[in-house]
Structure 1
Amino acid sequence: MSLRTRLALPVACYVVLLVSALQTLVVPVVADIQRHLGVSASSASWVVTANLLAAAVFTPMLGRLGDLYGRRPVMLGVLAVVLLGSVLAATTSSLPLLLAGRVAQAASFGLFPLAIGMLREELPAPRLTGAMAVVSGMLSVGAGFGLVVTGLLMRHGGDYHQLFWLSTALTAIGLAGVWLLPRRAGAATGRLDWTGAVLLGLGLVLLILPLEEGNGWGWGSPRVIGSLVAAVVVLAAFVLFERRVTHPLVSPRMLRHRPIVVANAAGLFLGFAMFAVFLATSALVQTPPAVAGYGFGASVLAASLVYLLPGTAGGVITAPLGGRLVARFGAKATLVIAAVLAGLGFTMLALLHSATWEVIVGALAVNSAVTFGYAALPALLIANVEPAETGIANSVNSIARSVGMSLGTAFVVTMVTRNPIPGPVPLPREAQFVTVFAVGAVLAAIAAVVVAWALPKPRPVAFTVEEVETDEVLGAAGLDVPAVPAHR
């Protein structure tokens, strides 16, 4: 095995760690960005939302480009774009330019499927499953790393620009590592669906924008209603266009087949739950109790390390447990368990949030539920689609999860900016956080009922834990999952 091939696993681990670190670096400092730029809370939240929306479009496109032109050159291109975005975000005090930088950083989401695809090309089969499990674990490690670094850099009220300078340095290291990987030609033929990508991106922006800005624009205003109507028209045009394309960004069949629709709705909910609890918890614990009558007045350091880190770090334990649940009880039952656990976590947060341990346990329950759900979705998809369609099905599910994250962000921002407590610094009322958590609990209950009722009776297929963990990694990356052996 050559030196370049030996570098495949450590480089894959590093770039996937970078993906999740870039995701969580800014979550605890949205309020700092708002104060520094002098913008509204809903405008500042686009630092998170723009990144997630762009990721929903970029990820399947970049995976397809990797198939066409080879993983290494596409990964180099992605990292170059992320590097430019990081430098832009680090050097600007303009919200539009900061959002442009965050959109460029969203290209990093494509590194996960590209890294997994690269491992499949470079490593022998006996080493592949273990290697993919290690790389997948870097998602949790990177999320925790991002929170820890944010807390440490901002512990004395530091400048949030430091976070983007750090991401610049981390991206440069990743660029050097990928440069050393072996060169492989692309394995696919065809073309990229640029028109579909533009229609999808425009439709999602038109959908999320009025949900973020509804409080300021007025929910019955022509801008809100016009944007929502335009979103329906553009997304309908996207579906019609995809039916006529040889290599569509999203297969229209994936939007009609009931088990796939249910799995995508579940992915939408799980993405919503993940960022709703992330942002709501961060805002809740940083609220000063002397002014608002609730909250903990936590610093960015405490919000990152005490309240948010346990949920992300717990993924190292809960991810393997999710695989065991799928192997023991099946994908459908595990998804129901995930929805019930999320409901319990949201309910606890709605009713009990006056003590530190209550917030930590509630958020940990929701994050664990998301991890269990993500373990179940790939197994659910491969049981209900043809082997040749698993890559498309998982790619669509990845888009659903990213859209859910955007909707969760928009919902939290809408709620916490409504009817603020009068004062020099507008603060949300406690009831608004309770509403966020209560809606999460209701959606979790609906998800549990829909999954239990709408999904067909599972096929009598027994998965091993190793197979579940492999399918989970490939599914999360939006890649083809091996067919279930015929003797099963």
Structure 2
Amino acid sequence: MSQATTAPAEAGHRNETVIVFALSLAAMVVSMMQTLPVPILGLIRNDLGTSTANVSWVTTATLLSAAVFTPLLGRFGDQHGKKPTLVAVLGVMVAGSVIAALATSLPLLILGRVLQGAATAIFPLALSVLREEVRPQKLPGAMALVSGTLAFGSGLALVATGLLTSGPDADYRNAFWMATGFAVLALVAVVTMVPATRHKTGGRTDILGALTLGIALLLLLLPISQGHEWGWASGRTLGSFAGAVVMGAVWVLTELKVREPLVDMRMFVHRPVLMANLAGILVGFGMFANFLGVSYLVQMPKALTGYGFDASILRASVEFLLPGAIVSLLASPIGGRLVRHRGPRVVLGLAAVLGAAGFAWLALDHSHTASVIGAGLIVGAAVSFGYAAMPAVIMASVPHHQSGIANGINSISRSTGSAIGSAVVTTILASKTIEHLPAGAPPLPAESGFSLTFGIAAVSFALVGLVSWLGLRTNHGPRTVEVTASAAGTVPSPLKVAEQPDATDKAGVV
């Protein structure tokens, strides 16, 4: 073959590499924003002179912002161009990070966190760009790598924050300045390395659908994140959940009546998409149960509790959480290859087995350093495999013009699972405390609370396996078209996928 023939192919391969790098960096920065303030909430509370209940809004605000803006911006990118939307969202994230770093009051800090939360839309937009720019045979690996950076970024944020706030005169604002630097770097990478959008559907933005969906998600996630402070049986909590059900029904009715809905209900209830979103909730739950459960466990003072490792925030982050985060990143390309050759159903099942095994190990033995780290490595690989499989299921099940909104809804499912994980861990540890402590000692969780937390997380991953086995069951027949074919845009509608059972058999989604 001549040099003239091979040159374009080599150039295209290089372009794919830099595109995947830029989008992976952007996705990593997004995931960092979610866990960044977790280790420094105490510092923020003391510095701003506020209460524990009030400072919890530093994390809650980001979650709620993500729930409102992710589906809207994912759909906007499909309609009006993914790169311009990506650049605008990254710009908002930079502004939010600067505001958070400069904030001298809690309301201003929460505003910065709201702007950071809007950047969660970067992930579904990134997957939509990959669908356009990466060759079909390379697409599963590219999606898996970008998805794997989510778990890595979450762990990296905990570690970096621990490093920046480890001194006696630690300033929590350093963590937000670090976030600003990463956000600027991601913005430059996307501007210079990601090509302009080729596919635009145009059309009108479904403002009413976005508004009703946003209200429904707010009413759902608000009590999940604040229920521990409000009381799970309080009027505010129960009223919010009831309101979420009502607004969910209003949203569905709205989407069925408008001409250009934000979310096509046929796509939303299509079995593979529905099962991928359920898996997203369960995997997100497990990821946060690992981060919070292990972080709290290793910091327990052994002299008072009889268990724990007396670890500082820095040691908890570097020694116990960083190894699992690194494994998540290393496992992502492996997950991509497995998705390509075995299908996402098999990879999701493997994630379930690994996650259940890792958490079962933690539940049975969390008194040895090697056990906590070893189980964390297994859970890290499980989360990475789960994140690699879910976008592949969705890309094989929706047409090109719905990929942004479909992955946006899946991002919300993972965020919802993370919120539920945080609420469950906090509630369990607060409800199971050690009865006999020295006078003046603060309430400390009993060891049984950690065993229960890890046991529930093991069950959540076991349910991922059930979703994979029953919800994504295959129909036997000729394996003629891989998941990557439909990801390249050859499947005209989600209903056509259901009508052609043999076409996506290898994807394991029909």
TM-score for both structures, normalised by structure 2: 0.80
1:241 aligns with 2:245: no
Matches within 5 A, 1:169-248: 169-180=181-192, 187-248=200-261
Match of 2:474 in 1: 457
Post-superposition CA distance 1:423-481 (Å, at most 9, x none)? 453433322222221221223333433442344334546599xx77999999xxxxxxx
Post-superposition CA distance 1:84-143 (Å, at most 9, x none)? 211222223544432322121012222334445556667788998877676556545544
For residue 375 of structure 2, the aligned residue among 352, 362, 371 is: 362
Post-superposition CA distance 1:120-175 (Å, at most 9, x none)? 66778899887767655654554454344223212224221110122223333444
* Separation (CA, whole Å) in 1 of partners of 2:485 and 2:415: 21
* Separation (CA, whole Å) in 2 of partners of 1:200 and 1:68: 18
The structural deviation recorded for 1:270 is 0.8
* Separation (CA, whole Å) in 2 of partners of 1:33 and 1:244: 46
Match of 2:270 in 1: 257
The structural deviation recorded for 1:14 is 3.8
Instruction: Kindly indicate whether the alpha-carbon contact (under 8 Å) linking 1:136 and 1:473 is maintained by their aligned counterparts in 2.
Output: no
SS of 1:417 mapped into structure 2: helix
The structural deviation recorded for 1:299 is 1.5
Structure 2: gaps spanning 5 or more residues: 1-7, 490-496
Matches within 5 A, 1:93-108: 93-108=104-119
For residue 51 of structure 1, the aligned residue among 59, 62, 66 is: 62
* Separation (CA, whole Å) in 2 of partners of 1:201 and 1:424: 42
* Separation (CA, whole Å) in 2 of partners of 1:244 and 1:216: 38
For residue 313 of structure 2, the aligned residue among 281, 300, 310 is: 300
Letter in 2 for 1:161: R
The structural deviation recorded for 1:346 is 1.7
- Percent identical among aligned pairs is 44
The structural deviation recorded for 1:273 is 1.0
CA separation of 1:52/1:17 partners in 2, compared to 1, >3 Å: closer, same or farther?
same
1:165 aligns with 2:182: no
* Separation (CA, whole Å) in 2 of partners of 1:98 and 1:446: 37
CA separation of 1:327/1:8 partners in 2, compared to 1, >3 Å: closer, same or farther?
closer
1:23 aligns with 2:34: yes
Post-superposition CA distance 1:336-361 (Å, at most 9, x none)? 33223222222222221112221112
Structure 1: gaps spanning 5 or more residues: 475-481
Match of 1:478 in 2: none
Matches within 5 A, 1:338-353: 338-353=351-366
* Separation (CA, whole Å) in 2 of partners of 1:455 and 1:127: 23
Instruction: Kindly indicate whether the alpha-carbon contact (under 8 Å) linking 2:294 and 2:320 is maintained by their aligned counterparts in 1.
Output: yes
Letter in 2 for 1:303: A
- CA RMSD after TM alignment: 3.8
* Separation (CA, whole Å) in 2 of partners of 1:427 and 1:135: 38
* Separation (CA, whole Å) in 2 of partners of 1:486 and 1:287: 49
Match of 2:161 in 1: 150
Letter in 2 for 1:357: A
* Separation (CA, whole Å) in 2 of partners of 1:41 and 1:115: 35
CA separation of 1:397/1:286 partners in 2, compared to 1, >3 Å: closer, same or farther?
same
SS of 2:445 mapped into structure 1: coil
Post-superposition CA distance 1:290-314 (Å, at most 9, x none)? 3333222211211111111111110
The structural deviation recorded for 1:73 is 3.1
Matches within 5 A, 1:310-321: 310-321=323-334
Instruction: Kindly indicate whether the alpha-carbon contact (under 8 Å) linking 1:259 and 1:456 is maintained by their aligned counterparts in 2.
Output: no
State the number of aligned residues: 479
Matches within 5 A, 1:52-131: 52-118=63-129
TM-score for both structures, normalised by structure 1: 0.83
Instruction: Kindly indicate whether the alpha-carbon contact (under 8 Å) linking 2:141 and 2:335 is maintained by their aligned counterparts in 1.
Output: no
Matches within 5 A, 1:251-290: 251-290=264-303
Deviating more after overlay: 127-136 vs 138-147 = 127-136
The structural deviation recorded for 1:419 is 5.4
